[in-house]
Amino acid sequence: MAIITVKNLSKTYKVKEKEKGLLGSFRSLIKPKYKTKKAVNNISFEIEKGEILAFIGPNGAGKSTTIKMLTSILTPDKGSIDILGLNPSEDRKKLAYEIGSMFGQKEQLWTHLTPYDNFKFFGAIYDIPEKAVENKIQEFKDIFEIEGFINTPVRNLSLGQRIICEILVTLLHNPKVLFLDEPTIGLDPVVKEEIRALIKRMNKEYKTTIFLTSHDVGDIEKLCKRVIIINDGKIVLDDSMENLKYHYLNKKIVEVKMKEKVNLDDEDGITILKDKGYNLKIEVDLTKKTISDAIKLLNTDNIVDINISNTPLEEIISEIYKKAE
Amino acid sequence: MLMAVKNQIKVVLLSIKYSLMRQMVNKFTFISNIVFMIINNASMIIQWIIIYSIKDTIGSYTLKSVLLLWGFASSTYGVAHFFFKNAFDLSDFINTGRLDTILVQPKNTLLSTITTDVRVSAIGDLIYGYILLFIYGVTPINFIVFTILSILGGLIITSVAIINGSLAFWFGRSDSIANTVESIIVLTSTYPEDIFNSFVKLLLYTIIPVGLVGYIPVHIMENITLVPILVIFAFTILFIIAANLVFYAGLKKYSSSSLMNARI
């Protein structure tokens, strides 16, 4: 059963247009011109309980506007949203008890307080009894290993530790759905891995449905089983991660070190990406040529070293973005 | 319902407590902010002492009345800016998308927004208001009435700030309107009403409610009766309702922002 149902959702912004320079500013002051921008244009989707969904798209695609409508921050112009039987625009307070939201670019923790005090404060916001908050904090300590910094003021924590606490604070009231808007923005690879592990654990331990927006392909690849790609306010792809890879991974990258040079210039289905004499990097289009045929062309006796890899997901996604444009 | 109100009050008190703790991190800045605000306010009263050494009354105001007027101006400003500081920065909250993290919480958005910070110097204003009450001549009754009227006045000033700040939902930046109205309130609330002509007086009892936060309270203190206090109470409720209506009407037009921000 769907836990989130979105039907024909739209949101339009009125944006002021200004001409260049001081004169333009004067003109704009006397006779302002506006243009309307459809940030979200008639989108529909459903999310099942326990799913981890990646909601991705380039900057300005409508990701944040969508997540803000789902979390009661913005009021939609058209369409309907149903989250656990509640309408975010009309049932803001009721919904807030059922969902958690974390915006990577907007901190909600009090920086001069320790994570412990912050947990207590947010416990009060969600009307959780003191004893239950203490139990939850103990649970966080046991599962998410925050013992070492729970009594350090947030402003003295590393960025990674801070983000971990930002996410944990959204879990205090056991939300059924968690909205994470770019949770790994600005983090180093090690901390990103820690955050991903945390998200996976949350999903596993608490069966939390997770709605994730991110520009980081690693987040999407390692966490999500389903991807929705939005561009220019419209959904351009809604598919499982498996299908996405299957349909778009029809190209292989072959990096090879050879004893003698080989000429592949006119071979159909092979694109030379890099040619440094004895070191060659080619892309093989699997719809036209098999990997085995490509290797035969290189001559197996001639190969010193070989590496065959898939096209990075990042390239696949940017290709989908480009196609949508 | 009662439980919800109790929980909301608990969160408001915690917010004020934590905001105060944040300001207390630097002991010197904390104390100097309060002390210098008292000195700053005290320096303003010198001109009135000089004027009243030449003339016994200005209209119906004696020096003691002016001291009391200053007391109300100071204490109402103190109440408003200490407890509801963010009401005076509402335009900025709206334009920079700082309402986002508050909107996702299951609490009253307006109350949570305006109580998540305190202005330490406002403690100086509050203390100064009571110092002037002591100079005027304190009794247990007028102490209680002064406190009630200061709270009501603080709520009226806060409501006006919310209404002006909420204009940002429709017109973008409205901080200049809010700042101008606040400056007019501060300026006019420290002068006896009798120096203003009828038109200005009309404004001061309506659009710019200095009459409710300063002039009428001074008259009440000179002759304490219940009815005018109830009238001010009724007006306070009306202002609070108006502030809520304007804020929540505007909130439907809130467009957020992608600017990065933190609770520092």
The stretch A93-113 carries a mean pLDDT of 88
Tell me whether residue B109 is in a domain.
yes
Which one-letter DSSP state was computed for residue A150? T
pLDDT number for residue A96: 94
A96 inside 8 A of chain B by CB: yes
Instruction: Report the b/e string of A253-283 with b at 16+ CB within 10 A.
Output: bbebebeeebeeeebebbeeeeeeeeebebe
CA distance B209 to chain A (A): 32
Is the separation of the CB atoms in B94 and B173 below 8 Å?
no
What does the domain layout of chain A look like in residue ranges?
2-246, 250-324
B263 inside 8 A of chain A by CB: yes
Tell me whether residue B262 is in a domain.
no
Main-chain phi, psi angles of A53, to 5 degrees? -110, 135
Cα separations in angstroms, A40 against A64, A65, A89, B82, B104: 10, 7, 16, 41, 20
**Which band of pLDDT confidence, cut at 50, 70 and 90, is reported for residue A318?**
confident
Tell me whether residue B256 is in a domain.
no
A92 inside 8 A of chain B by CB: yes
Flag whether the ipTM exceeds 0.85. no
**Which band of pLDDT confidence, cut at 50, 70 and 90, is reported for residue A19?**
confident
Tell me whether residue B140 is in a domain.
yes
Q: How far apart are CA A63 and CA A56, in angstroms?
A: 7
* A24 pLDDT above the threshold of 60: yes
Question: Which chain B residues have a beta carbon less than 8 Å from that of A103?
Answer: 100-101
Question: Exposed, middle or buried, A179 (CB in 10 Å: 0-12/13-18/19+)?
Answer: buried
Parent domain of B142 = 13-251
- The nearest alpha carbon in chain B to A104 belongs to B260
Which superfamily, per CATH, for A2-246?
P-loop containing nucleotide triphosphate hydrolases (3.40.50.300)
Tell me whether residue B105 is in a domain.
yes
The stretch A241-266 carries a mean pLDDT of 82
Is the separation of the CB atoms in B160 and B188 below 8 Å?
no
Question: Which chain A residues have a beta carbon less than 8 Å from that of B256?
Answer: 64, 68, 73-74
B30 inside 8 A of chain A by CB: no
3-state secondary structure of A181: strand
B103 inside 8 A of chain A by CB: yes
pLDDT number for residue B2: 79
How many domains are contained in chain B? Answer: 1
Tell me whether residue B260 is in a domain.
no
CA dihedral B128, B134, B139, B140 (to 10 degrees): 40
Q: Where are the beta strands (DSSP E) in A78-220?
A: 78-83, 99-103, 177-181, 209-213
Contact criterion met (CB < 8 Å) for B103 and A125: no
Question: Which chain B residues have a beta carbon less than 8 Å from that of A93?
Answer: 106-107
The stretch A40-45 carries a mean pLDDT of 94
Question: Which chain A residues have a beta carbon less than 8 Å from that of B98?
Answer: 106
Residue pLDDT, tens place only, B152-171: 999 999 999 999 999 999 98
CA distance B80 to chain A (A): 22
A99-103 sheet: strands from edge to edge:
A99-103, A177-181, A209-213, A52-56, A226-231, A234-240
pLDDT number for residue A249: 67
Say which residue, A252 or A101, is predicted with more confidence: A101
Question: Which chain B residues have a beta carbon less than 8 Å from that of A92?
Answer: 103, 106
What is the residue-level pLDDT of chain B in tens, covering all 264 positions? 778 888 899 999 999 999 998 888 888 999 999 999 999 888 888 888 888 888 888 878 888 888 999 999 999 999 999 999 999 999 999 998 889 989 999 999 999 999 999 999 999 999 999 999 999 999 999 999 999 999 999 999 999 999 999 999 998 777 788 888 888 888 888 888 888 888 888 888 888 888 999 999 999 998 889 999 999 999 999 999 999 999 999 998 898 876 555 544
Residue pLDDT, tens place only, A156-165: 998 888 888 9
Class of domain A250-324: alpha beta
